[in-house]
Structure 1
Amino acid sequence: MNFGKAIEKLKSSKKVARKGWNGKGIFIELQVPDEYSKMTHPYIYIDTTELVTDNPDAPKDRVPWLASQTDMLAEDWEVVE
């Protein structure tokens, strides 16, 4: 799936990831603010809290995410359950 389709999936509350990303358990998701949020617009974040890796120093976080040109042009996006 291309990046445009991945964005459509995000907008329909799906999690997506690239097959080409290093490690399992990494995905991006769209966060839509509610009345308790400090944010006022939707934003995309990357979640690595379920990352499977042999590297004990690998970050396991949720942080805002920006697509690289490589990500935007990739055709290996998939929905993550």
Structure 2
Amino acid sequence: MKFEEVLPLIKEGKKALRTGWNGRGMFVVRQKGYPQGINCNKQTADAWDLNEGDLFIVHPYLQIKNSDGTHAMWVPSIGDIFAEDWQIVEK
């Protein structure tokens, strides 16, 4: 599957992966963010020079589960965009 085919499915809430990725168990999801805002915790407040409890608005973003079990915000590389080995993760 091409990236332009898988992206709408990710937006619908599906998990997607590339067979060309080296790590096992990796996949990408859409995080809905907090469009209405969420109260800042101390870590976020310190990072953004805000007060703990301030309203923090977060737009939707892509998140990846790495092979070591950690998670991170994710932006596709040129290789990911032009790859044709995308698949939907079946439950």
TM-score band by shorter chain is 0.7 to 0.9
- What TM-score results when the alignment is normalised by the length of structure 2? 0.70
1:19 maps to a residue whose letter is T
Partner of 2:23: 23
Displacement of 1:39: 4.5
Equivalent position to 1:47, from 61, 65, 72: 65
Larger deviation, residues 39-48 vs 24-33:
39-48
1:78 aligns with 2:87: yes
Which has more strand, going by share of residues? 2
Provide Cα deviations, 1:11-57, integer angstroms capped at 9, x if missing partner: 11000000100122000000002454744210001112xx3xxxxxx
Aligned length: 72
Which has more helix, going by share of residues? 2
- What TM-score results when the alignment is normalised by the length of structure 1? 0.78
Give 5+ residue unaligned stretches, structure 1: 52-58
Once superposed, what is the RMSD of the aligned Cα atoms? 1.7
Q: Percent identical across equivalent pairs?
A: 36
CA–CA distance in structure 2, aligned partners of residues 68 and 44 of structure 1: 13
